[in-house]
Structures are given as structure tokens and as C-alpha cells.
């Protein structure tokens, strides 16, 4: 049987959710493995671009902003939604200035209020006083993203505490798919579609049963280049916590039989989300979502609890620096603007990161890579001049997949080698903060790898 590419993708998505062995083979939907021999998984072009962006901004904004809640119950009047000076360009300008490459908006949160005029419910901006009921926040958001060179993404909560069809499973699935269709056909290219795992009862007390293969298939048909996020992918997985910490071991490969659907629970599920699976059969890198404030939505009472510059830089190290991507939430206020305190921390983070990574002390030095076994290798970097080193930046070329499973870093100031760090996975990027010391040579020893390790790129910085 020959499948055309689209059919292949559809089958792969459907099969992946079921988790049969054939499914797992098919679930590597990427172009890299399309037509290739059975090999370890590799990222698709979309997954690769997604990871290279490193930073995305999450925008939680909606009914909860006006009721001062985190989870609305769906009984809120649309008349409460009335930002006085909403300017999505201010969000996008800030994101861009702070070095973010993408932005994801909560088009609908659990309370069911839709930020775009939808035919599926009157519970939307169309029934609000904002812009005289003629507003479309999804439109303003995507336009602002594009104007600032950011990739737009959308969060559409499956859990809907307002819609009367919720819990009447077949009927609500049609509604949900219709909402996805509006969002994915009216606004041009959407780069990430975000499905969260929260799933409670509807207004009628009934519990909804989802059909993920159907929803993922619909997204794939309408936006084939988008990556889909959920606990279970299919393209990008949740990192398993909202503290901003990827696993110190973090494989971008997972076993799709462990996390089968958004919202599944259990110790093994959490471990797989956090660390990935060394022998995983699909490429599903982890996304680290965390808020700049205690809550996801803006609450004036938390204005003095915005993360500091130091805190944001640490988040960068514990997410991007552990083979993940950071999705940092920055919630606009009731005015419809990002708060000055948040903007100051973001710009401070950018300035600090730029300074930390301004000068690679290894640039112009000599690097010698040699294979030392089927699953081992060694890299010695001679700095052009001895220098104080406090950060080591390691990168595998993940277009070829992820290979390193255990490594050691040694430093020499001209005399004996001293071990300065040990770790497990590297992946797209591994940042090691080490005790600052005078260094002439650095040695990376790959002690274990899942295949013959490819060259690992090493750079080093003074740190602080
Ligand atoms: C969760 C939601 O319940 C939270 O409110 C928030 O949106 C977070 C990012 O996802 O599932």
C-alpha cells in the first residue's frame, strides 16, 4: 500500500495515540525519517525550528484577568471583559526586545470565553463591550506577532466550563473541532497549537471523552507546519512541572506508550515527561512552561512578586540549558498591557544573557575530536589564551538525533586535568555553570552514547 505524505501523517497521528508497535514506527512523522531506514528518531523541520527559537512568551489573558481568578467557572458575564487600552503590539515589542521568537495566546481558557468572534458560542468578545463588540483579539494578536517578526501560537482549552455541549462527548467534539477550524483557517500560519491537560466536569456535570487522533489530525490537515503541544505531543511534550525545570537528564525521544493522552497521570508518566526516554521511538522534545508571577493570569496583588532578573536567567539555564524550550508566561493587566515590573525583568534578563554569552573564550582556539569507542568520544579544546571560565555551553547537532548519554568535563590550567562537571544528556544545548577557574584546556569525555557520538560543539564563557 502506498500512502501519500498527507495520508502518512494522518495515519501516524492516529496510530501514535493508540501506541501499537506499528504506530510507534509511524509516529516519527518527520521529514527526516520519511522514507528512511528504521533509525533512531530525528526532529522534523518544524520541531527543529521550534527548538532553535529557545524562547516563547505565553500570554494568559481573558475573563480571569477581570475576575481576578485563575480558573473561571464559566458563569461570568461577557460584559466583564473590557480592557481599557489593549495593545497587542506592546506585548510583541516587549517580547521581541527581550529576545523571544514566538508568542502563544490563550484564545480560550477553561471558563470557555472566546477571544475571537466565534460561531460556536455567544460567550465571546462579540458579546463584550470591548471595541463595541466588534473586536477580535486573536486577529490583533497574530497581526502584532507578525509585525514584530514573532511566530504566533494559540492555546484552545479542551476543558470548557461554559459550553452547554461540554460532556456530551460527540456533540462537544464537533464544537471543539469547529473552534479549531476557525482559529486555524482565518488567521494565517499558526506555529504552535497548545492543548493543556486540565479536564474537569462541564456545566451539566458530565465528563467529556476526547478523541485526540481526530483533533490532532484536524490540526495537521489545516496547519501541517504547526507543532502541537500536549502531555502526549504529538510534536512537543510537557516537561512535567510548572516550576521551570527540565530534567537534568532530558531526552527528546519518548516511548509513546507511556504518555498516551493529555492529562494522564502516574509516576512513570511524570518521569517520562521530565526525562524523556533514552530508547524512545518518537521525537518529542520537552517544553518548559512557567509564569513570571505566581499565577498564570494577572493579579494586582502579585505586582510585587514578579520574578527577578536573576530568577529569569536561572530559568533559562534550567530549561534552554537542559535541552528544552522555555515558554515563559507574562500576563497582561486589565488595561491590556504588560505591567512595567514584568517588562523591566524581561529586558533585564535579555541584557544579562547578552552579556553572559557575548564572548566565547574558546573562539580561535583549536578543537580536536576523536572517537574512542563505539559509544565514546573525546574532545579537547585549547583556548587561544588562558582565561577564567564559569560557563560551558555544549551542543549536539540534533538534526542527526540525540546521542550522548553520559559525559564528563575536565579542565587544565597547564598542569593536571581536574573534573569540573559531570552530566548525562546534552541534546540541542546543555549549559553548565561551573566554579570559575583559570583554564587553558577543556576536555569533554563522552562516556556513553546511544550511537556513535557525533561532534559536540563546545564554547565557554566567563560567567558570573
Ligand atoms: C493548565 C491550566 O489549568 C492553567 O490554568 C494554565 O493555563 C496552564 C498553562 O495550563 O492546564
Burial (CB count within 10 angstroms: exposed 0-12, middle 13-18, buried 19+), residue 134: exposed
Per-residue pLDDT of 85-141, as tens digits, reads: 999 999 999 999 999 999 999 999 999 999 999 999 999 999 999 999 999 999 999
CA 239 / ligand 1 centre spacing (Å): 13
The torsion defined by the Cα of 303, 309, 314 and 315, in degrees rounded to 10, comes to 50
Mean pLDDT of 22-31: 36
* 40-356 CATH fold: TIM Barrel (3.20.20)
* Phi and psi based region of residue 110 (left: phi greater than 0; alpha: psi -120 to 50; beta: remaining): alpha
Give me the helix-helix angle, 212-222 and 5-18, nearest 10°. Answer: 160
30 in contact with ligand 1, CB cutoff 6 A: no
Per-residue pLDDT of 147-156, as tens digits, reads: 999 999 999 9
Specify the residue for cell string 467534539: 173
Residue 19 pLDDT greater than 60, yes or no: no
CA 62 / ligand 1 centre spacing (Å): 13
Q: CATH topology of 40-356 equal to that of 366-461? A: no
CB 359 within 8 A of CB 430: no
CB 43 within 8 A of CB 252: yes
Widest Cα–Cα separation across the chain: 74
Residue whose CA lies nearest to ligand 1 atom number 4:
296
Number of the ligand 1 atom closest to the C-alpha atom of 106: 7
Number of the ligand 1 atom closest to the C-alpha atom of 329: 9
Name the residue ranges covered by the structural domains of the chain: 40-356, 366-461
Residue 11 pLDDT greater than 90, yes or no: no
Contact partners, residue 434, CB within 8 Å, separation at least 6:
389, 390, 391, 392, 409, 411, 420, 421, 463
Number of the ligand 1 atom closest to the C-alpha atom of 70: 5
Number of the ligand 1 atom closest to the C-alpha atom of 58: 9
Per-residue confidence at 144, pLDDT binned at 50, 70, 90?
Answer: very high
Number of the ligand 1 atom closest to the C-alpha atom of 198: 11
Instruction: Please provide the distance, in angstroms rounded to a whole number, between the alpha carbons at the two ends of the chain.
Output: 59
178: number of Cβ within 10 Å: 15
pLDDT of residue 280: 97
pLDDT of residue 464: 82
Nearest one of 66, 90, 63 to 334, comparing CA atoms: 66
* Phi and psi based region of residue 132 (left: phi greater than 0; alpha: psi -120 to 50; beta: remaining): left
pLDDT of residue 200: 81
pLDDT of residue 13: 38
User: What is the DSSP secondary-structure string of 39-54?
Assistant: ------HHHHHHHHT-
Average pLDDT for the chain: 92
pLDDT of residue 38: 59
CA 271 / ligand 1 centre spacing (Å): 20
Nearest one of 156, 128, 154 to 141, comparing CA atoms: 154
Distance CA 100, CA 96 (A): 5
Per-residue pLDDT of 188-243, as tens digits, reads: 999 999 999 888 877 788 889 999 999 999 999 999 999 999 999 999 999 999 99
Specify the residue for cell string 551542543: 395
* Of 73, 109, 196, 328, best ligand 1 pocket probe by most atoms within 8 Å of the beta carbon: 196
CATH 2.40.70.10 is held by the domain 366-461: no
76 in contact with ligand 1, CB cutoff 6 A: no
Mean pLDDT of 149-178: 96
Amino acid at each position: 500500500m502506498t500512502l501519500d505524505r498527507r495520508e502518512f501523517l494522518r495515519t501516524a497521528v492516529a496510530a501514535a495515540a493508540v501506541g501499537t508497535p506499528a504506530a510507534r514506527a509511524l509516529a516519527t512523522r518527520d521529514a527526516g525519517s520519511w522514507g528512511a531506514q528504521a533509525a533512531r528518531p530525528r526532529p522534523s523541520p518544524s520541531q527543529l525550528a521550534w527548538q532553535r527559537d529557545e524562547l516563547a512568551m505565553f500570554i494568559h489573558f481573558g475573563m480571569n484577568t477581570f475576575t481576578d481568578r485563575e480558573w473561571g467557572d464559566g458563569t461570568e458575564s461577557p460584559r466583564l471583559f473590557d480592557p481599557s487600552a489593549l495593545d497587542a503590539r506592546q506585548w510583541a515589542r516587549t517580547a521581541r526586545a527581550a529576545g523571544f521568537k514566538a508568542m502563544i495566546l490563550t484564545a480560550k481558557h477553561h471558563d470557555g470565553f472566546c477571544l475571537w468572534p466565534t460561531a460556536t458560542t455567544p460567550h465571546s468578545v462579540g458579546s463584550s463591550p470591548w471595541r463595541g463588540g466588534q473586536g477580535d483579539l486573536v486577529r490583533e494578536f497574530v497581526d502584532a506577532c507578525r509585525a514584530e517578526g514573532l511566530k504566533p501560537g494559540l492555546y484552545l482549552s479542551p476543558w470548557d466550563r461554559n459550553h452547554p455541549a461540554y460532556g456530551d462527548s460527540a456533540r462537544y467534539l464537533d464544537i471543539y473541532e469547529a473552534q479549531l477550524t476557525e482559529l486555524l483557517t482565518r488567521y494565517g500560519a499558526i506555529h504552535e497549537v497548545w492543548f493543556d491537560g486540565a479536564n474537569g466536569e462541564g456545566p451539566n456535570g458530565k465528563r467529556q471523552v476526547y478523541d485526540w487522533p481526530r483533533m490532532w489530525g484536524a490540526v495537521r490537515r489545516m496547519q501541517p507546519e504547526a507543532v502541537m503541544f500536549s502531555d502526549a505531543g504529538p510534536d512537543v511534550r510537557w516537561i512535567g512541572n510548572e516550576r521551570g525545570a527540565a530534567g537534568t537528564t532530558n531526552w527528546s525521544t519518548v516511548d509513546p506508550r507511556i504518555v498516551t493522552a493529555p492529562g494522564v497521570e502516574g509516576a512513570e508518566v511524570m518521569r517520562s515527561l521530565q526525562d524523556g526516554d533514552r530508547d524512545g521511538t518518537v521525537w518529542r522534545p520537552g517544553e518548559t512552561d512557567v509564569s513570571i508571577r505566581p499565577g498564570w493570569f494577572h493579579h494586582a496583588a502579585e505586582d510585587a512578586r514578579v520574578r527577578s532578573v536573576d530568577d529569569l536567567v536561572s530559568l533559562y539555564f534550567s530549561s534552554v540549558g537542559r535541552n528544552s524550550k522555555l515558554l515563559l508566561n507574562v500576563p497582561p493587566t486589565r488595561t491590556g498591557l504588560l505591567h512595567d515590573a514584568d517588562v523591566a525583568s524581561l529586558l533585564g534578563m535579555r541584557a544579562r544573557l547578552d552579556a553572559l554569552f557575548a564572548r566565547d573564550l574558546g573562539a580561535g582556539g583549536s578543537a580536536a575530536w576523536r572517537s574512542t569507542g563505539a559509544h565514546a568520544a573525546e574532545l579537547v579544546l585549547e583556548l587561544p589564551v588562558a582565561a577564567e571560565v564559569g560557563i560551558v555551553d555544549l551542543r549536539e547537532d540534533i538534526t542527526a538525533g540525540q546521542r550522548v548519554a553520559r559525559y564528563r568535563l575536565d579542565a587544565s590550567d597547564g598542569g593536571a586535568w581536574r573534573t569540573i562537571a559531570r552530566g548525562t544528556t546534552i541534546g540541542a544545548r546543555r549549559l553548565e555553570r561551573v566554579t570559575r577557574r583559570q583554564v587553558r584546556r577543556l576536555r569533554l569525555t563522552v562516556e556513553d552514547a546511544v550511537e556513535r557520538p557525533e561532534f559536540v560543539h563546545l564554547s565557554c564563557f566567563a560567567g558570573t
